[in-house]
Amino acid sequence: MRRLLEVKGLKAGYGPTHVLHGLDFMVEEGGVTALLGANGAGKTTTLRAVCGMVRTEGEIRFQDEQLNGRATEDIARRGIAHVPDGRGTFMELTVEENFRLGAYIRNDKQVQSDFDRMCDWFPRLKQRWKQQAGTLSGGEQQMLAVARALLLRPKLLLLDEPSFGLAPLIVQEIFGIMRRIRDESGVGILLVEQNANLALELADLAYLLETGRIVMSGRAAEIRQDEAIRRSYLGY
Amino acid sequence: MDGFAHQIIAGIATGGIYASVALAIVMIYQATHHVNFAQGEMATLSTFIAWSMVNAGMPYWVAFFGTILVSFIIGVLVERLLMRPVANAPVLTHVGVFIGLLLIVGNMTGWIFGYTTKVFPTPFTSDQPLFGGLVSAHELGSTAVTLTVLILVWAFFRFTKLGLAMRAAAYNPRSSRLVGIRVGWMLALGWGLAAAIGAVAGMMVAPVVFLDPTMMLGILLYAFAGALLGGIDNPMGAVLGGFAVGVLENLAGAYVVGTELKLTVALAIIIGVLVVRPSGLFGRVVFSRV
> Strand A3-14 vs strand A17-28: parallel, antiparallel, or unpaired?
antiparallel
Using N-to-C axis directions, what is the helix angle for B137-159 and B183-209, rounded to 10°?
170
More confident residue, A210 or A231: A210
Lowest-pLDDT range of A145-154, A206-215, B269-278 = B269-278
In this predicted structure, what is the pLDDT of residue A236? 64
Order of strands across the sheet with A56-62?
A17-28, A3-14, A56-62, A65-66
Half-sphere exposure of B11 (CA within 13 A, CB side): 23
Q: Which helix (H) or strand (E) holds B173?
A: helix B173-178
Enumerate residues 6+ apart whose C-beta is below 8 A from A84. Answer: A44, A47, A48, A158, A160, B174, B175, B178
DSSP category for residue B114: -
Please list, in sequence order, all residues whose beta carbon lies within 8 angstroms of the beta carbon of residue A180, skipping any fewer than 6 positions away: A121
* A164 within 8 A of A171, measured Cβ to Cβ: no
What confidence score (pLDDT) does residue B11 get? 86
Q: Which of A220-224, B32-36, B264-268 has the lowest mean pLDDT?
A: B32-36
Helix (H) or strand (E) holding B98: helix B91-113
- Is B287 within 8 Å of A101 when comparing Cβ atoms? no
Evaluate if residue B1 carries a pLDDT over 70. no
From the CA of B269, how many Å to the nearest CA of chain A? 27
Q: What is the pLDDT of residue B286?
A: 61
In this structure, what are the phi and psi dihedrals at residue B36, rounded to the nearest 5 degrees?
Answer: -85, 110
Measured in whole angstroms, the distance separating CA B166 from the mean position of its chain's CA atoms is 18
Considering only CB atoms, which chain A residues are within 8 Å of B171?
Answer: 90-93
Residue B47, pLDDT > 70, answer yes
Residue B24 has pLDDT above 80, yes or no: yes
pLDDT 10s digits, A82-122: 999 878 899 989 999 999 999 999 988 899 999 999 999 89
- Closest residue in chain B to residue A81, using alpha carbons only: B178
* Percent of chain B residues topping a pLDDT of 70: 95
Which chain A residues are Cβ-neighbours of B284 within 8 angstroms?
92
pLDDT digits over A126-172, tens only? 999 999 999 998 889 999 999 999 999 999 999 998 888 888 888 88
Q: For residue A93, which residues of chain B lie inside 8 Å, CB to CB?
A: 164, 167-168, 171
Topology classification of domain A3-79+155-234: Rossmann fold (3.40.50)
The residue among A47, A70, A72 with the most chain B CBs within 10 A of its CB, best to mutate, is: A72
Which residue in chain B has the smallest CA separation from A102? B179
Kindly tell me if the per-residue pLDDT of B4 is higher than 60. Answer: yes
Predicted pLDDT of residue A34: 93
As a whole number of angstroms, the distance between CA A120 and CA A97 comes to 17
Please, which pLDDT band fits residue B9 given cuts at 50, 70 and 90?
confident
- pLDDT-derived band of residue B288, with 50, 70 and 90 as boundaries? low
Distance CA A137, CA B115 (A): 60
DSSP string, chain A: --EEEEEEEEEEEETTEEEEEEEEEEEETT-EEEEEE-TTSSHHHHHHHHTTSS-EEEEEEETTEE-TT--HHHHHHTTEEEE-TTTT--TTSBHHHHHHHHTTT--STTHHHHHHHHHHH-HHHHHTTTSBGGGS-HHHHHHHHHHHHHTT--SEEEEE-TTTT--HHHHHHHHHHHHHIIIII--EEEEE-S-HHHHHHH-SEEEEEETTEEEEEEEHHHHHH-HHHIIIII--
Most confident of A105-114, B14-23, B66-75: B66-75
Q: What is the mean pLDDT of residues B57-79?
A: 95
- Pairs of CB atoms within 8 A across A/B: 76
Residue B63 Cα, gap to closest chain A Cα (Å): 36
Find, in chain B, the residue whose alpha carbon is nearest to that of A107. Answer: B161
Cα angle at A64 between B177 and A182, to 5 degrees?
A: 70
8 Å CB contact of B161 and A100: yes
DSSP 8-state secondary structure symbol assigned to residue B286: P
CB contact under 8 A, B174 and A90: no
Nearest by CB to residue A102, choosing from B172, B174, B179, is B179
Parallel/antiparallel/unpaired status of strands A80-83 and A156-160: parallel
CA A97 vs CA A102, A205, B112, B217: distances in Å = 9, 35, 46, 38
Rounded to a whole number, what is the distance in Å from the CA of A208 to chain B's nearest CA? 26
What value does the mean pLDDT of chain B take? 87
pLDDT for B10 equals 81
Q: What is the predicted pLDDT for the residue at B104?
A: 93
| Nearest-angstrom CA–CA distance, B97 and B78 | 11
Cβ contacts of A77 on chain B, cutoff 8 Å = 180
Does residue A62 have a pLDDT over 70?
yes
Enumerate the residues of chain A whose CB falls inside 8 A of the CB of residue B165. Answer: 101, 104
Q: For chain A, what are the domain ranges?
A: 3-79+155-234, 90-153
- Strand partners for A190: A33, A158
Min Cα separation A203/chain B (Å) = 24
The model carries a pTM of: 0.83
The percent of residues in chain A predicted with pLDDT above 70, rounded, is 98
Q: Is the pLDDT of residue B105 over 90?
A: yes
Q: Which helix (H) or strand (E) holds B4?
A: helix B2-32
Cα distance between residue A162 and residue A181, in whole Å: 14
Q: Do A97 and B164 touch (CB under 8 A)?
A: yes
Instruction: Mutate one of A92, A96, A111, A112 to test the B interface: name it (highest B CB count within 10 A).
Output: A92
Cβ-defined contact of A77 to B289 (cutoff 8 Å): no
Question: Which positions in chain B touch A146 (Cβ < 8 Å)?
Answer: none
Best interface-test mutation with A: which of B157, B177, B183 has the largest number of A CBs within 10 A?
A: B177
Which of B258, B273, B247, B268 minimizes the C-alpha distance to B6?
B247
Q: Is the pLDDT of residue B203 over 90?
A: yes
A76·B284 Cβ contact <8 A: no
Task: Report whether A60 contacts A66 (CB < 8 A).
Answer: yes
**pLDDT number for residue B14:** 83
Q: Looking at CA atoms only, how far is residue B287 from chain A in angstroms?
A: 6
DSSP code for B132: G
> Nearest by CB to B178, which of A84, A137, A138?
A84
Q: Please answer yes or no on whether B180 and A105 come within 8 Å at the CB atom.
A: yes
Phi-psi region at B131: left, alpha or beta (left = phi > 0; alpha = psi -120 to 50): left
Measured over the CA atoms of residue A222, residue A223, residue A224 and residue A229, the dihedral's sign is positive
Taking only the tens place, the pLDDT of each residue in B75-94 is 999 999 998 888 888 888 98
Q: Which among B180, B30, B35 is positioned nearest to B99, based on CA atoms?
A: B35
- B32 compared with B211, residue with greater pLDDT: B211
Q: Which residues contact B131 (CB under 8 A, 6 or more apart)?
A: B9
Segment B206-226, tens digit of pLDDT: 998 889 998 888 888 889 899
Contacts of A42 (CB under 8 A, 6+ apart): A19, A20, A23, A209, A211, A212
Do B184 and B86 contact (CB within 8 A), yes or no? Answer: no
Q: What is the pLDDT of residues B141-193, one digit of tens each?
A: 888 888 898 889 888 888 999 999 988 988 888 899 999 999 989 989 989 99
Our CA-based measurement puts residue B179 at a distance from the nearest CA of chain A, in whole angstroms, of 6
Q: With 60 as the cut, is the pLDDT of residue A13 above it?
A: yes
Contact between B250 and B8 under an 8 Å Cβ cutoff? The reply is yes
Q: Computed over its alpha carbons, how large is the radius of gyration of chain A?
A: 17
| Burial category of B60 from C-beta neighbours within 10 Å (exposed 0-12, middle 13-18, buried 19 and up) | middle
Query: Of B31-35, B71-75, B107-111, which range is least confident?
Result: B31-35
Question: Is it the case that residue B284 has pLDDT exceeding 70?
Answer: no
Most confident of B6-20, B43-57, B122-136: B43-57
**pLDDT of B42:** 93
